[in-house]
Each structure stands twice: as C-alpha cells, then as structure tokens.
Structure 1
Amino acid sequence: MGRRPASALLDILRGEGVDRVFGNPGTTELPFLAALADDGEAPEYVLGVHEGAVVPMADGYARATGRPAFVSLHIAAGLANGLIGLLNARRSRTPLVVTAGQQDRRHLQQDPMLSGDLVALAAPAVKAAYDVQHARDLPLALRRAFALAVRPPAGPVFLSVPMDLLAEDTEVEVPARTPPPRPAPAGGLDRAAVLLGGAARPVVVAGDAVGREDATAALVRVAEACGAPVHHQPMADCLDFPTTHPLYAGTLPPRHDAIRAALAPYDTVLVAGAHAFSPHHYSPGPALPPGLTVVQLDSDPDEIGRNFPADHGLVGALGPSLDRLAELLPQQVPPHTAKARALRAGDRHLAERTRTEAAARAAYSRAPLAPWAAAHAVAHGLPPGTAVVEEAITVGLLLRALVRLEQPGSYTHTVGGGLGWGIGAAVGRSMAQPARPVVAVLGDGCALFGLQGLWSAARYAAPVLFVVMSNGAYRTLQDTYEARGGTGPCPGTELGRLDFTQAARFFGIDAVRADSADQLRELVAGAAELTRPMLVDVPLR
C-alpha cells in the first residue's frame, strides 16, 4: 500500500527508531511541519534558535543513543549555519541524517529567494549528499541515508528535498528496512596474537572506534592479557579506555614528534580503531619510531596503512575482534609475564598521576583560579556516572590528565575543531540520558560560539551543569603564538572579562560565579541533583 511522500518520510523515521527531530524551520519545511502536526505518533520536534546549536544537539543525542539522529535544516542559509556542526560530526564520525527543504521546483530556475545548490554546499561537510527530485525516490533515498550513516566510517548524510515534493498528491512505496549486518570479527587475529605475544615491550593505542563501538571492556581484556600500557589516541573524542585502570598511560599529544617519543620505549604497538594519528601542529618526521612492529585493527578498511605502514592490518568490528584477540593472547603470553608487566606499568603510571595531582594542588590559590586548580576541582567534584562534555581547549587538556572515569560515554569531545559544539552537544546528551548527570566544561571562546544552545537548554529544562572556564582570551592561540617565537601581544586573541552569568540569565538559566576551587568542586558535585540547567562562570588567571 502506497503512502503520501510526507507520510512515507515519517513512517521511515519511526522504523529507524527516530523519536526526535532536531531543527530550526523555515518556509521550505512547512510541508514537513504539517505532516508532523497531523500525525499523532510523529517524533517530537526539538527546536533550536540557531543551526549552530541544532546540529550539535543531534550530535550529542546520536552519540548517547548509539543510533542516527535526524536533523531538519532550512534551505541554503540554514544549511550554511549548520556546516560547522556537520564538519564536527564528520570528523567525529557521528551518524546523522540531515535534510534541508529546497525551494519549490516549479520556479527554481528563476533563482527564487533562499535557493541554492544545497548538495554542493553540503558535500564537503558530509559523508554523502543526495538531491531528491522525484517523490518515488524519497523513501529509498532515506533508507539508504540511514544505512550509510552508520556504516564504517560513520558520519552525516545529507538530503535536499524540494518543498513541493513533500506536498505532492501522489502515493509512494515504502521499502522495508534491512537489518544491518551482524558485526563480525576480523580475519588474521591468530597472527596478531603471535605478533603481540612475541613482543617484549607491547603498547596499545585506543582509538575512538573502541568507544563508539562499545568495545572498551574487550580492549581492557586485551591489554591485561599482554600487560601492555594503553594510550588514548591524540585528541580522543570519547572514553576508549578507563582512566582508572593501572595500565592507562594517558592521551598521546597531537604532534608526530611527541607521539614518536611516547612510543619509542616499545617494540610492538596495537593500534585499535584510531584515526591515523591525525596531528594538530606540524612537526617533521613520521608519527611512529623506527623498528616498531605495528598491528592495526579497524572497522574502516581505509584506515589500514593510511598514514603509517602496518605490519599486520585487520578489518573487522572492534568488539568481536578484540574479544577474540583476548582469548588468543594467553596462549602466547604467560599470565605471570603479563601480570609482571602490568605491575611495573601500574607503578609508573601511579607515580605520574601523583605528580600531576601534586601540580594541580600546588596551583590552588585565591581567586581568580589557576587553570590547573579549576580542572582539579571539576575532576574531583564529578558525581558517579557523570557524562562530561568537554569543549574547553586549554583547560580541557588539563582536565583529561585529572579525570578518573570508567563508565562508557563518560567523556565526550569533538576532534572536528569547529567551536560552539559543547553547549548543544550537552543538551542532546541530556535528552538521550535524562537520569545521568551531564557536566559541560567549556572555554569562554567556545561558549560564545554556541551560546544560542542555552535557549534550548532552558526550553527543554535539560539538567545540565554548564561550567565556563573564562580566561578572557583565545588562550590556546596565544600559547601557540608564543611557542613559535611570537613576541608581544598576539592580535585578535583578547576577549576581555565577560560575565557569563548575565548571558545565562538572559536565557532563563540559573547562574553563579565560582570564586574558589572548593566552591567549584561543590557546585560540580551537585550536578546530580539538578532538575533544570545551571551555569557556573569560573574566572581564571
């Protein structure tokens, strides 16, 4: 039995598990809004007052639910506003299905107001983009978009849908949903176990595919089976290995020379689900030291050997592959050997963590707070089970060294680099997991880019604690400027002192200024009791 185009769209959304539509509407979305209004079982429409907040809300929601989120943008202008969020989602491999209403096809050749080449505009920021021109093609294009969004490498998929297409008085067939293939382990795991088992000094790099594919527990078993220290990949987007584990060795810096130095003591590395060690700042030379045996596992075949040669590359789902590898390793590594390695690594990592804690505590002083002290207060105030959404750049690096987290989804970041993601992402995560405390740690520059997300936080009473680390500058840019020999003030990097409590109150959000580390820690500890959003302004030195 056929369905009208708009009704077919809603049928597919329900079948794909979509329970919310994240959007900011305009005239070209009116047929879609009418369909939502007429359908008693339609997904909830979650409104954002700017697309810069809408796409991050969907991003945070998709990451928390583990399924694609659906986004509705408004023609060329709305799509352009959402491009930063789409770039972040593509880099972070967040599955989204994104539509934008195109102008009525009956006068599109006349270049009507707001029209544009939506596919060309979206293409650089998404995994794939489609221009739907016939009502009969809409259901198939949507099914294809949802399937493609989750297929490794996951990412956003865009569809341009003319407004008159949804309003057509015609019937279209809705294809049945094809269940995704069952995740399967990689081939060649026996040889991987031999290579890792033959290593005298093995190490593991935990990539973000581990966290995305819920394979953290399996990676823990692999690391324990060979007694290997574990580093997070540079600029990790999520918790890929518990930071409380004795084998946890911290996050690799995003520079080839620093990665090379960190991995130099080892003879064999397992790179599990890491995006090719993408650097941030240039440094000469390769990421890996000479003579290092590389075993690389990824669900995305394009990652194998992408930026460095792999001695043994494996393609398969991370969870099943790591589970099988953990079963094979005890045949290659005697348990007493693995245990002895783990004890040595644990002692070394404990000493490093003790030094880091001491440095942070030594930074405690009167207001304004030192960045180390602020990061320490947040890390030690987090309630059990908290989901940390971090977009703090300089303070975020300190926070990563201090947080002790082990529950999946406990830490979320975006490697995309498009500022303004954090506020919306925290709102989306809270919507997906309303019983879980959410603490968003934001830089003041990042908060300014995404400030409109506070409107949605207030509108939907998202119980998020927003912590704004306010140093009055683009501090990471100043640090890099100085490191490269810049002298004198760096132009265009001073924001001045801003009162974020006033910004929060404008949107109807309770706000307070934290003038001491103890006060900040207590406020963070209270995040579990929130029933509506709250903002904490933290002036920094």
Structure 2
Amino acid sequence: MGRHPAPALLDILRGEGVDRVFGNPGTTELPFLAALVDNEEAPEYVLGVHEGAVVSMADGYARATGRPAFVSLHIAAGLANGLIGLLNARRSRTPLVVMAGQQDRRHLQQDPMLSGDLVALAAPAVKATYDIQHARDLPLALRRAFALAVRPPAGPVFLSVPMDLLAEDTEVDVPARTPPLRPTPAGGLDRAAVLLGAAARPVIVAGDGVGREDAMAALVRTAETCGAPVHHQPMADHLDFPTTHPLYAGMLPPRHDAIRTALAPYDTVLIAGAHAFTPHHYSPGPALPPGITVVQLDSDPDEIGRNFPADHGVVGALRPSLDRLAELLRERVSERTAKIRVLRACDRHTVERERAEAAARAAYSPAPLAPWAAAHAVARGLPPGAAVVEEAITVGLLLRRLVHLDRPGSYTHTVGGGLGWGIGAAVGRALAEPGRPVVAVLGDGCALFGLQGLWSAARYAAPVLFVVMSNGAYRTLQNTYEAMGGNGPCPGTELGRLDFTQAARFFGIDAVRAESADHLRELVGRAGELAGPMLVDVPLR
C-alpha cells in the first residue's frame, strides 16, 4: 500500500529508530513540519536557534545512542551554517542523515530567493549526497542514506528535498528496512596473533574505532593477554581504553616525531581502529620508528596501509575481532609473561601519573587558576559515571592526562577542528542519556563559537554543567606561534576578559564564577544533582 511522500518519510524515520529531529526550520520545511503535526507517532522536534548548534546536538545524540541522528536544515543558508558541524561529524565519523528543503521546483529555474546548489554545497562535508527530484525516489534514497551513514567509515549523508515534492498528492512505495549486517571478526587473525605473540616488546594504539564500535572491553582483554601498554591515538574523540588501567600509557602527541619517539622502545605495534594517526603539526619523517612490525586492524578497508606500511592488515568489526585475537594470544603468550609485562608497565605509568598529579595539586590557588589546577579540579570532581564533553584546546590536553575514566562513552571530543561543537554536543548527549551527569569542558574561544547552543540547553532543561576555561585568548595559537619563533604578540589572538556568567543568564541559565580550584572541584562534584543547565566561568592565568 502506497503512502504520500511526507507520511512515507515519517514511516522510514520511525523504522530507523529516529525519535528526535534536530532542526531549525524555514519555509521550505513547512510540508515536513505539517506532517509532524498530523502524526501522533512522529519524532519530537528539537529546536536550535543556529544550525551550528543543531548539527552539534545531533552529533552528541548520535554518539550516545549509537544510531544515526536525523537533522533538518533550511535551504542553502541554513546548510551553510551547518557545514562546520558536518565537517566535524565526517572527521569524527558520526552517523547523521541530513535533509535540507530546496525551493519549489516550479520556479527553481528562475533563481528564486533562498535557492542554491545544495548538493554542491554539501558534497565536501558529507559521505554522499542525494538530489531528490521525484517523490518515488525519496523512500529508497532515505533507506540508502541511513544504511550508508553507519557503514564504515561512518559519517553524515545529505538529501536535498524540494518543498513541493513533500506536498505532492501522489502515493509512493515504502521499501522494507534491511536488517544491519551482523558484525563479524576479521580474517587473518591467526597471523596477527603469531606476530604479536612473538613480540618481545608489544604495544597497542587504541583508535577511535574502538570507542565507536563498543570494543573497549575486548581491547582490554587483548592488551592484558599479551601484556602490551596501550596509547590512545592522537587527539582521540572517544574513550578507547580505560585511563585507570595499569597498561594505559596516555595519548600519543599529534606529531610524527613525537609518535616515533613514543613507539621507539617497542618491536611490534597493534594499531586498532585508528585513522592514520591524524597529525596536527608537521614534522619530518614517518610516524612509526624504523624496524617496528605493524599489525593493523580496522573495520574500514581503506585504512589498511593508508599512511604507513602494515606488515599485516586485517579488516573486520573491531569487537569480535579483538575478542578472537585475545583468545588466539592466550595460546602464544604465557600468563606469567603477560603478568610481568603488566606489572612493569604499571610501575612505569604509576610514576608518570603521580608526577602529573603532584604538579597539578601543587598549582591549586584562588582564582585566576593555573591551567593544571583547573584541569585537576575538574578531573577529581567528576561524579561517578559522568560523561565528559571536551572542547578546551589547551586545558583539554591536561585534562586527558588526569581523568580517571573507565566507562564507555565517558569522554568525547571532535578532532574535526570546527569550533563551537561542545555546547550543542553536550546538550545532545544529555537528551540521549537522561540521568547521566554530563560535564562540558570548554575553552572560551570554543564557547563563543557555539554560544547559541545555550538557548537549546535552557529550552529543554538539559542537565549539563558547562565549565568555561577562560584565559582570554586563543592560547593554542599563541603557543604554536611562540614555538615557531614568532616575534612579539601574535595578532588576532587576544579575546580579553569575558564574563560568561552574563552570557549564561541572558539565556536563562544559572551561572557562577569559580573562586578557587577547590571551589571548582566542588561545583563539578554536584553535576549529578542538576535539574537543568548550569555554567561555571573559570578564570585562568
């Protein structure tokens, strides 16, 4: 039995598990909005007052639920506003299905107001685009979009849908949903186990594929079985290995020379679900030290050998692959050998952690705070089970070294680099996981880019603690400028002292300024008691 285009669209959304639409509407979305009103089972419409916040909320929601989130944008201008979020989502491999309303086809050739080439605009920021010109094509394209959004490498998929198409008085067929493929282990794991089992000094790099595919527990078993220390990939977007584990060796720096130095003591490395090490600043030479044996595992076949040669590459779902690899390693690495390696790593990592802990604790003072002290206060104040959404470029690097986290999904970041993601992403996460404390740690520059997201936080009473690290500058840019030998102050990097409590109150959000490191720790500790959003302004030295 056929359906009209708009009800057919809602049928597919419901079948794909979509319970919220993240959007900012305009005239070209009116047929879609009318369909939401007419359908009692339609998903809730979550409003953002800027498309940057809209896409960021969807990003946070998709990561928390593990399902593609659905985004509705308005025409060329709305799509352009949302592009920064789509670039982040593509880089972070967040599955989104994004629909933008196009102008009415009956006068599109006359270049009417608001029209534009939506597909050309979206194409560089998404995995695929669909330009829908016939109502009969919409259901099939939408099914494809949801399937493609989660297929490795996951990411956003875009559809351009003319407003008159959704209002057509015609019936279309709704294809049934194909169940997702069952995750299967990679082939060739026997050879991977031989190489890792023969290693005298194995090491593992945990990529964000581990966090995305809920494979952290399987990676822990693999690491423990062969006694291999584990590094997070540079600027990891997820918690891919427990920071409390004795084998956790910290995050690799985002430079090839530093990665090479960190991995030099080892003879064999397992790289699991990492996107080519994502360097930030250029340094000459390869990321891997000479002579190291490389075993690479990924669910995306294009990653194998992409930026560095792999002695053995295997493709498959990470969780079952790592579970199988752990079983195979038990036959090749004695329990005694693994325990000795774990104890040695524990001793080494304990010294490093205690040194960082002591330096941060010694920096405690009244405000303005030293960055080490601010990061430590947040890390030690986090309530049990908290989810950290981090977009604090300089303080975030310190926070990563101090957090004690072991629950999947408890740390998220975007390596996409488009500022303004953190506020919206935290709201999306809070909507997806009611009852879980959410703490958003933001740089002041990042907060300024995404400030409109506070409107949605207030509107939906999202219980998020927004912690703004306010140093009055684009500090990471200043640091890089100084490292490059820049003379004098770096132009365009001073923001001045800003009062973010006033910005929060403008949106109707309670706010307070941290008076000391102990005060900040106390405020973070109460994040689990929030019934709505709250902002903490943290003055930094």
Alpha-carbon distance between aligned partners in 1 of 2:169 and 2:137, rounded to the nearest angstrom: 15
Task: Give the Å deviation of 1:245.
Answer: 0.2
State the SS of the aligned residue for 2:526.
helix
State the SS of the aligned residue for 1:217.
helix
Question: After the TM superposition, which residues 270-289 of structure 1 pair with which residues of structure 2 at under 5 Å, given as runs?
Answer: 270-289=270-289
2:89 is aligned to 89
Question: After the TM superposition, which residues 510-521 of structure 1 pair with which residues of structure 2 at under 5 Å, given as runs?
Answer: 510-521=510-521
2:248 is aligned to 248
Question: After the TM superposition, which residues 161-310 of structure 1 pair with which residues of structure 2 at under 5 Å, given as runs?
Answer: 161-310=161-310
Alpha-carbon distance between aligned partners in 2 of 1:439 and 1:286, rounded to the nearest angstrom: 37
1:352 is aligned to 352
1:537 is aligned to 537
1:238-290 Cα offsets, whole Å, 9 max, x none, are 00000000000000000000000000000000000000111000000000000
Task: Please tell me the residue identity of whatever aligns with 1:444.
Answer: D
How much is the aligned-residue C-alpha RMSD, in angstroms? 0.4
Alpha-carbon distance between aligned partners in 2 of 1:389 and 1:367, rounded to the nearest angstrom: 23
Task: Give the Å deviation of 1:361.
Answer: 1.3
Question: After the TM superposition, which residues 297-336 of structure 1 pair with which residues of structure 2 at under 5 Å, given as runs?
Answer: 297-336=297-336
Alpha-carbon distance between aligned partners in 2 of 1:126 and 1:435, rounded to the nearest angstrom: 32
2:404 is aligned to 404
Alpha-carbon distance between aligned partners in 2 of 1:358 and 1:491, rounded to the nearest angstrom: 35
State the SS of the aligned residue for 1:178.
coil
Task: Please tell me the residue identity of whatever aligns with 1:363.
Answer: A
1:39 is aligned to 39
State the SS of the aligned residue for 1:462.
coil
State the SS of the aligned residue for 2:244.
coil
Unaligned runs of 5+ in 2: none
Alpha-carbon distance between aligned partners in 1 of 2:134 and 2:387, rounded to the nearest angstrom: 43
Task: Give the Å deviation of 1:504.
Answer: 0.1
State the SS of the aligned residue for 1:266.
coil
1:75 is aligned to 75
Task: Please tell me the residue identity of whatever aligns with 1:91.
Answer: R
State the SS of the aligned residue for 1:108.
helix
2:446 is aligned to 446
1:446-497 Cα offsets, whole Å, 9 max, x none, are 0000000000000000000000000000000000000000121100000000
Alpha-carbon distance between aligned partners in 1 of 2:307 and 2:279, rounded to the nearest angstrom: 11
Q: Percent identity?
A: 89
1:151 is aligned to 151
Task: Give the Å deviation of 1:510.
Answer: 0.2
State the SS of the aligned residue for 2:465.
strand
TM (normalized to structure 1)? Answer: 1.00
Task: Please tell me the residue identity of whatever aligns with 2:528.
Answer: A
State the SS of the aligned residue for 1:512.
strand
Aligned residue pairs: how many? 541
2:99 is aligned to 99
TM (normalized to structure 2)? Answer: 1.00
Task: Give the Å deviation of 1:116.
Answer: 0.5
Task: Please tell me the residue identity of whatever aligns with 1:467.
Answer: V
Task: Please tell me the residue identity of whatever aligns with 2:89.
Answer: A
- 2:59 counterpart of 1:59: yes
Alpha-carbon distance between aligned partners in 2 of 1:81 and 1:515, rounded to the nearest angstrom: 36
Unaligned runs of 5+ in 1: none
1:320-342 Cα offsets, whole Å, 9 max, x none, are 00000000101111110010011
1:434 is aligned to 434
Task: Please tell me the residue identity of whatever aligns with 1:182.
Answer: R
State the SS of the aligned residue for 1:129.
strand
1:338 is aligned to 338
2:503 is aligned to 503
1:458 is aligned to 458
State the SS of the aligned residue for 1:70.
strand
Alpha-carbon distance between aligned partners in 2 of 1:516 and 1:407, rounded to the nearest angstrom: 29
1:403-454 Cα offsets, whole Å, 9 max, x none, are 0100000000000000000000000000000110000000000000000000
Alpha-carbon distance between aligned partners in 2 of 1:3 and 1:209, rounded to the nearest angstrom: 38
